[in-house]
Amino acid sequence: MAAYRTVVVGTDGSDSSFAAVDRAASVAGDSGATLVIVCAYYPANKGDVEKAQDVLGDEAYQVVGSAPAEDTLLSARDRAAKAGAKAIDTAAVVGDPVDALRKVVSDRSADLLVVGNRGLNTLAGRILGSVPSEVARKSGVDVLIVHTT
């Protein structure tokens, strides 16, 4: 089997998702693959932005819109570099995590998707579905589910 060329990993800034980033970075580094780190987010509506600006002033950008996703991606990028990834890209994508990951996998012609296992064993995950189980069913590429919890 040929080495992976493009590895996509999802993160939401949680410790478990950062463990998945570490593993994905290791795989990408060992394969000489490009690592693409993805963080899905929902944009803040105008009312939320205005409320935050009323309370926080110029600091509002830190808690609304894409700023938290961008901060998460910067942290994940630093971790990935320390874990051995050489070529690292990031993508903040508006929308549902499963849809965001599938979009990036498709857009980047990725051949491996890495996610943490958080949500697989929760009641909500069993009833509503979880990101790991959904991407494993729908991604169309190899999926590595990292044991993070």
Report the 10 Å Cβ neighbour count for 8: 31
131-138 helix and 97-107 helix, angle to the nearest 10 degrees: 40
pTM of the model: 0.80
Let me know if residue 88 belongs to a domain. Answer: yes
Q: How many domains does the chain have?
A: 1
Q: How far apart are CA 31 and CA 10, in angstroms?
A: 19
Question: Residue 32: which CATH number?
Answer: 3.40.50.620
Residues 43-55: pLDDT tens digits?
Answer: 766 666 566 556 5
pLDDT digits (tens, 9 = 90+) for 81-126: 999 999 999 999 988 888 899 999 999 999 999 988 764 344 333 3
Range of the domain at 132: 6-15+24-40+70-146
Instruction: Reply yes or no on whether the pLDDT at 69 is more than 60.
Output: yes
Is the residue at 51 inside a domain?
no
Specify if 57 maps to a domain. no
CB within 8 A of 118, min separation 6: which ones? Answer: 14, 16, 17, 130, 131, 132, 148, 149
Asked if 25 and 35 touch (Cβ cutoff 8 Å), the reply is: yes
Q: Apex CA 3: angle with CA 136 and CA 96, to 5°? A: 30
